Amino acid sequence: MTAYALRRLALVVPTLLGIMALNFFIIQTAPGGPVDQFLARLSGEDSGVMERIGGESGDGIATAVDDASGAVHTVTRGVSAELIRKVELLYGFDRPVHERFVKMLGDYACFDFGDSFFKGRSVTGLLWDSLPVSVSLGVWSTLIIYLVSIPLGIRKAVRHGSRFDAVTGIAVVVGNAVPVFLFAIALVVLFAGGSYFKWFPLRGLVSPGFEDMTTWGRIADYASHLALPITAMVIGGFATLTMLTKNSFLDEIGRLYVVAARARGLTERRVLYGHIFRNAMLIVISGFPAAFVHMFFTGSLLIEVIFSLNGLGLLGFEAAMQRDYPVMFATLYMFTLIGLVTKLACDLTYMFIDPRIDFERRGGAHA
């Protein structure tokens, strides 16, 4: 297992490099890049940006400018060619795309993500400020979903066709059909001062004066801020895993080795958890990396907007809309790295649950 884990870790670097290269060159070809965004601000109402480059806008009308790097920038109001060159120099677009990519890789190797183009802060600082929100939402929601869905799915499989299965099936259908953001809005209306009760705070991860609270006060304040967002994500996310668990166990319950185990006089509990569990759980574990990354980033975007939480999902979305390349590539780097490491952890969990699985021997056989 150790040799397999080391080989997989060694593959993380080229995989990460390939994903970053593919996304970098695709994004570079998309219209409306950072220079265009900046020029649009110059052509609009934001005159304060002129101080950053020390230039002045012209009075004529320019349609497009072909710069030394090969980019073409469309301008709605008059902007001089010299001013455009200054903007390109400001953002590093005065060099060819391959040189910018090599420089980015060198900076990332030193954990230097640069500065945001439009937020006036370092990308590392932005990521560090947003990370607690994403970690809180992703870890707690994923943990609770698995703690609820797996026992519920097993019980539904064991009592398939019963009244319990039918009643919980209604909850599963509702949770699967209704979008997460509708659950979130309903919780805000009911419990966050929307129309009825004001039992939970609506904004932020913690309250002002959090540092001055006692230990138990901090825990209570943190839990009160997360209660509604986590509840909305759990309600919207438990249905799929519950049905996956149920169907996986139902498929295993009818197999011959289960019949043979029962014929030997084993109790139902011993058959369920000693024989069925490790086989049925493999398919459940296989979906963990995708579920975790989804909850950690993209799945919490609307939740972050509704509850005014500044997490990585919202940060990455705003960066994509603004073409803030340093933030975009840094969040992509984080998404990809966490996904690859989580996938490795998933494979190692396979081997822990079922020792018969040996990826190392299988890889050697294929070689």
* pLDDT 10s digits, 336-359: 887 788 777 777 776 766 666 665
Residue 328 resides in a domain: yes
What is the model's pLDDT at position 57? 43
What is the model's pLDDT at position 76? 44
What is the model's pLDDT at position 5? 73
Residue 20 resides in a domain: no
Residue 23 resides in a domain: no
| Residue 287: burial class (beta carbons within 10 Å; 0-12, 13-18, 19+) | middle
Q: Are 267 and 145 part of one and the same domain? A: yes
Q: Are 337 and 225 part of one and the same domain? A: yes
Q: Are 190 and 256 part of one and the same domain? A: yes
Residue 213, pLDDT above cutoff 50: yes
Long-range contacts formed by 297-303: CB under 8 A, 24+ apart: 297/134, 297/138, 297/331, 297/335, 299/141, 299/180, 299/233, 299/237, 300/134, 300/137, 300/138, 300/141, 300/229, 300/233, 302/180, 302/181, 302/184, 303/137, 303/180, 303/181, 303/184, 303/229, 303/232, 303/233
Residue 151, pLDDT above cutoff 50: yes
Q: Are 74 and 192 part of one and the same domain? A: no
What is the model's pLDDT at position 366? 42
Residue 227, pLDDT above cutoff 70: yes
**Which of 110-124, 163-177, 187-201, 352-366: highest mean pLDDT?**
163-177
Bridge partners, residue 74, by sequence? 64
Q: Are 184 and 298 part of one and the same domain? A: yes
CA distance 196 to 319: 36
State the chain's mean pLDDT as an integer: 76
Q: Are 236 and 327 part of one and the same domain? A: yes
Nearest to 243 by CA among 157, 145, 144, 163: 157
What is the model's pLDDT at position 316? 81
Residue 144, pLDDT above cutoff 80: yes
Higher-confidence residue: 232 or 267?
232
Q: Are 151 and 256 part of one and the same domain? A: yes
What is the model's pLDDT at position 71? 52
* Structural domain count, the chain: 2
| Half-sphere exposure for 328 (CA within 13 Å, toward CB) | 19
At residue 296 the predicted structure's pLDDT band, cuts being 50, 70 and 90, is low
CA separation, residue 34 to residues 119, 317, 321 (Å): 12, 15, 10
| Contact (Cβ atoms closer than 8 angstroms) between residue 39 and residue 57 | no
Residue 179 resides in a domain: yes
For residue 258, give both structure tokens. 């289960």
Write the pLDDT tens digit of every residue in 39-85.
666 665 444 443 444 444 444 334 444 444 445 455 445 556 776 67
What is the model's pLDDT at position 48? 43
Q: What is the mean pLDDT of residues 93-115?
A: 81
Lowest mean pLDDT among 5-14, 25-34, 223-232, 284-293: 284-293
Q: Are 194 and 311 part of one and the same domain? A: yes
Please name the residue that has the structure tokens 């006692």.
Answer: 214
Q: Are 255 and 152 part of one and the same domain? A: yes
CATH of the domain at 238: 1.10.3720.10
Task: Indicate the SS3 state at residue 24.
Answer: helix
At residue 361 the predicted structure's pLDDT band, cuts being 50, 70 and 90, is low
Residue 252 resides in a domain: yes
Lowest mean pLDDT among 73-87, 118-132, 146-160, 227-241: 73-87
Residue 279, pLDDT above cutoff 70: yes
Q: Are 94 and 204 part of one and the same domain? A: no
Q: Which domain holds residue 64?
A: 35-112
